[in-house]
Structure 1
Amino acid sequence: MNKFFDIYMDLKKKIEHSEFVAGSLLPSEKTLSESYNVSRETTRKALTLLLEDGYIHKKQGKGSIVLDIHRFNFPLSGLTSFKELQESQNIPNETIVIKNKIETIPEFLADALNVKPDQKVISLVRLRKIAGEVIILDKDYLFNDIVEQIPSEAAENSIYEYLENELHLNIAYAKKEFVVEPVTREDRKLMSLRDDTHVVVVKSEVYLEDTRLFQYTESRHRLDRFKFVEFARRKSSL
């Protein structure tokens, strides 16, 4: 077995067992080489494997930063609110509402959704902070003729809980689109993105039981903190 792979496996194990915690620096190449009694080149190969497998991020002038390898499961199907997601996975979090106002729907969205250009919406922008970092940017547009207002307290907690329990709306289904998009200036300004160049974007059109479209959501996720999961069963052809 190559020595560099042994070092890679040892460092990988230590990261997985939190001997090196997320955000901390690994020892320098020189220190690791002395510790494992190998050349700098051998150490560099081990660190390259850790980098390629998403265990570390190398920053010039700083060293090898340990990444958080624990990702939160995000279901592809179903209509699950962020509050329900964080409660089911015990995710400590904070929601910050930075916009909550009634305005005319953006032109690009009116065209995409085939609605009147003067449609009034509640424009809601929220930051989802986990472990001190903003890793989700949620942008919601709720049709104002169906939802008159969203109290900021409800927006910080769960808008679905408010819509279902207070307004007694029957939320039925959604059309979802998952895309990877380049980071925007707004993403860079509002999210904790490090050196990320892209984000995963979940675009959802949400409908009531009577088939009325009432909400459009664009949820922008930092790449390294989520994995998108689904259980699939093959249908019999018989």
Structure 2
Amino acid sequence: MEKNQALHAYIKEDLLNRIKSGTYKVGDRIPTELELCKDFNVSRTTVRTALKQLTIEGYLVRKQGNGTFVAEQKVKQTLSHTVKRYSDQIAVQGKKAEISLVSLQVIPATEFLVQVLNVSVNDPIQRIERIRKANGEPTQFEIAYVPWKLAPGITKEHAETSLYETLQRNYHLQIAKTTEHVEIAFPDERVAHLLEYKEGLPCFYIETVAEAADGMVIEYSRSYFRGDKTNFVISRNYLEEEGL
């Protein structure tokens, strides 16, 4: 244990290492609180604190009357350059992807959308709300904004597949660049309900601006990702970036 490391933090780290190394596999029942107390020679309160944190973070799941089990692995999504659709990224992890439309409406451009989408006030903007799921469990809630003049008449069928692929195939709009801002956010009651997530727990929050090669903004979106179901992979090629 590192100097000044709290006991519950040490236990949490040890259990997490066992999960990530495969000592405890998905679906395995971990030792009881009493067994862990004996193993680590600590109080039940200390063990419970460690287990609670791992449960909140999505590594463990408690089943009333049965014990605590290792949860399914979180959905991994790539933030670095990738041409893979959501369904493809999920499929390689052995999970079934699903995109469900929540709402599709045309709204007048607000002053904020005027700035981010380079449109005029009151221009028609398509506002698309979607839920992404993996194995039937919600992982992401997204609100996307696309100018009507660029892609008129986006349909439910379009929205429930890859939106970028639809923009390219049906409207000849090629996404060449995205800029993403990542934060931690706390979802409101509606977002938490749609994500089947407890209100007050943190989410990853990402705002994305998608552009064509000439700099024209094609789409702006806001996305909430369940913190217990999602993690992100960022890969950088420094030799390529340095031109070496």
Would you say same fold, with TM above 0.5? yes
1:130 Cα shift? 1.4
The 8 Å contact of residues 125 and 139 in structure 1, kept in 2 or not, is answered as yes
* Match of residue 181 from structure 2: 177
Whole-Å separation in 1 of the counterparts to 2:87 and 2:60: 30
CA 1:206–1:123 in structure 2 vs 1: closer, same or farther (change >3 Å)?
same
Q: Secondary structure at the match of 1:162?
A: helix
1:76 Cα shift? 3.2
Whole-Å separation in 1 of the counterparts to 2:115 and 2:196: 31
1:194 Cα shift? 3.5
**Equivalent position to 1:128, from 107, 118, 132:** 132
Are residues 1:93 and 2:97 paired? yes
* Match of residue 149 from structure 1: 153
The 8 Å contact of residues 79 and 174 in structure 1, kept in 2 or not, is answered as no
Whole-Å separation in 1 of the counterparts to 2:64 and 2:205: 29
CA 1:69–1:213 in structure 2 vs 1: closer, same or farther (change >3 Å)?
same
CA 1:237–1:173 in structure 2 vs 1: closer, same or farther (change >3 Å)?
closer
Q: Secondary structure at the match of 1:117?
A: coil
* Match of residue 162 from structure 1: 166
The TM-score, its normalising length taken from structure 1, stands at: 0.74
Query: Which amino acid is 1:21 matched to?
Result: G
* Match of residue 231 from structure 1: 236
Whole-Å separation in 1 of the counterparts to 2:242 and 2:17: 41
The 8 Å contact of residues 36 and 47 in structure 2, kept in 1 or not, is answered as no
Whole-Å separation in 1 of the counterparts to 2:214 and 2:243: 33
* Match of residue 4 from structure 2: none
Whole-Å separation in 2 of the counterparts to 1:71 and 1:8: 21
In the alignment, structure 1 segments of 5+ residues that lack a partner are none
Q: Secondary structure at the match of 2:210?
A: strand
Query: Which amino acid is 1:227 matched to?
Result: F
Query: Which amino acid is 2:202 matched to?
Result: H
* Match of residue 123 from structure 2: 119
The sequence identity of aligned pairs, in percent, is: 19
Whole-Å separation in 2 of the counterparts to 1:174 and 1:20: 34
**Equivalent position to 2:213, from 179, 204, 209:** 209
The TM-score, its normalising length taken from structure 2, stands at: 0.73
1:163 Cα shift? 1.7
The 8 Å contact of residues 104 and 129 in structure 2, kept in 1 or not, is answered as yes
Whole-Å separation in 2 of the counterparts to 1:86 and 1:186: 25
CA 1:236–1:173 in structure 2 vs 1: closer, same or farther (change >3 Å)?
closer
Q: Figure out how many residues of one structure are paired with residues of the other and give that number.
A: 231
Query: Which amino acid is 1:117 matched to?
Result: V
RMSD: 4.0
Moved more, 122-131 or 194-203: 194-203
The 8 Å contact of residues 87 and 97 in structure 2, kept in 1 or not, is answered as no
CA 1:114–1:163 in structure 2 vs 1: closer, same or farther (change >3 Å)?
closer
CA 1:91–1:110 in structure 2 vs 1: closer, same or farther (change >3 Å)?
farther
**Equivalent position to 2:112, from 108, 111, 115:** 108
In the alignment, structure 2 segments of 5+ residues that lack a partner are 2-7
Whole-Å separation in 2 of the counterparts to 1:37 and 1:85: 39
The 8 Å contact of residues 211 and 219 in structure 2, kept in 1 or not, is answered as yes
**What is the correspondence of 1:6-25 to structure 2 with a 5 Å cutoff?**
13=18, 16=22, 21=27
Query: Which amino acid is 2:79 matched to?
Result: P
The 8 Å contact of residues 96 and 126 in structure 1, kept in 2 or not, is answered as yes
Query: Which amino acid is 1:29 matched to?
Result: E
1:47 Cα shift? 5.3
Whole-Å separation in 1 of the counterparts to 2:11 and 2:215: 58
1:48 Cα shift? 4.3
